[in-house]
């Protein structure tokens, strides 16, 4: 299979690129390398992957690349993912996440791609969980422009399906963690804590630490993408474990993995932070055949091992 991975030099994207190459697929990576890293693709280059450095806001460049690469499947992971940056500059966030997605959809359509797998977000779209775990029909109530732009991008994916017949699916991730993650944005808390543990520091908890998230190991996210690429399922699909994990829980598990102990310091709570969320992945199990395989303790141990 010929695959185009936007954002393929990033944390999740590079792990997906490795999995595609491992099974013998041809891979072209589109990334502006603003947050992604070339070194994430060092093994991929040895296996024949190509990196094209460009910005998804450049419609002409995206169209030209799609025309040249002729991908059968496009995995769209390139995005502006920093919640705080989206709040400070919502127009920039929309240009990347909405306009950029439109450019990728148009490139995929023109080049004849059979499928586009779009990366989206669960918690940031649903906002505060009214039903936990939250199903896909949970009320949409983003608390930051990032969630709003990702929801809008989902709508364009479905629109292109209706208008042009291109098959699309949007995977709404929980909080993804694992090897190669940068401590960027809220989802980077595990990367930050693991770094603190290894340097002998103390993790900083905002508020009481009882806020909950649904943490999913990156290999489970990769498997969801591969299954979605071969499926005909459309619309939004949650990809999560359905388990609420507190920040205090994270510290306790890491403390058990530390030789010298790992205790937290507290700071005032951050305004506007979602208090509780977890994702109902029933649709993913029933329609994709996907379920999470990596428990939190194993995932944290593997993440720490990758940093040592």
What is the number of other CB atoms lying within 10 angstroms of the CB of residue 186? 20
Cα 232 to Cα 220: distance, rounded to the nearest angstrom: 20
Kindly provide the residue ranges of all beta strands, DSSP E only, lying in 37-105, ordered along the sequence. Answer: 50-53, 73-76
Burial degree of 4 (CB within 10 A; 0-12, 13-18, 19+): buried
What is the number of other CB atoms lying within 10 angstroms of the CB of residue 65? 21
Residue with the two structure tokens 């479905």: 158
- What region, left, alpha or beta, does residue 299 occupy, with left being phi > 0 and alpha being psi -120 to 50 degrees? alpha
What is the number of other CB atoms lying within 10 angstroms of the CB of residue 267? 10
| Burial track 7-29 (b if 16+ CB lie within 10 A, e otherwise) | bbbbbbbbbbbbbbbeeebbbbb
Q: Which helix (H) or strand (E) holds 25?
A: none
Kindly provide the residue ranges of all beta strands, DSSP E only, lying in 24-96, ordered along the sequence. Answer: 26-31, 50-53, 73-76
List the catalytic residues.
146
Question: Which tokens go with 36?
Answer: 């992604």
Q: Which helix (H) or strand (E) holds 110?
A: helix 100-111
Whole-number CA gyration radius for the chain: 19
Residue with the two structure tokens 């055949």: 289
């Amino acid at each position: 299979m010929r695959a185009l991975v936007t954002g393929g030099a990033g944390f999740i994207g590079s792990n997906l690129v490795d999995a595609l190459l491992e099974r013998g697929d041809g891979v072209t990576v589109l990334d502006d390398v603003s947050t992604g890293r070339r070194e994430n693709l060092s093994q991929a280059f040895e296996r024949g992957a190509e990196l094209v450095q460009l910005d998804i806001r450049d419609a002409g460049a995206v169209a030209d690349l799609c025309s040249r690469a002729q991908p059968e499947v496009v995995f769209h992971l390139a995005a502006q993912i920093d919640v705080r940056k989206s709040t400070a500059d919502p127009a920039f966030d929309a240009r990347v996440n909405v306009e950029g997605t439109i450019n990728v959809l148009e490139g995929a359509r023109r080049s004849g791609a059979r499928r586009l797998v779009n990366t989206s977000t669960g918690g940031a779209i649903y906002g505060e969980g009214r039903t936990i775990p939250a199903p896909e029909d949970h009320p949409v109530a983003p608390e930051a422009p990032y969630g709003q732009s990702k929801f809008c991008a989902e709508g364009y994916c479905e629109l292109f399906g209706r208008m042009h017949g291109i098959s699309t699916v949007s995977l709404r991730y929980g909080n993804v963690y694992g090897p190669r993650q940068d401590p960027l944005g809220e989802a980077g808390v595990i990367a930050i804590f693991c770094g603190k543990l290894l340097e002998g520091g103390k993790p900083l908890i905002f508020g009481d630490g009882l806020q909950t998230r649904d943490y999913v190991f990156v290999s489970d996210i990769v498997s969801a993408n591969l299954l979605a690429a071969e499926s005909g399922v459309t619309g939004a699909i949650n990809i999560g474990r359905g388990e609420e994990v507190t920040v205090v829980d994270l510290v306790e598990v890491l403390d058990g993995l530390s030789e010298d102990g790992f205790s937290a310091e507290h700071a005032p709570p951050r305004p506007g932070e979602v208090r509780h969320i977890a994702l109902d992945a029933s649709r993913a199990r029933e329609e994709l055949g996907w379920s999470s395989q990596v428990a939190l303790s194993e995932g944290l141990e593997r993440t720490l091992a990758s940093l040592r």
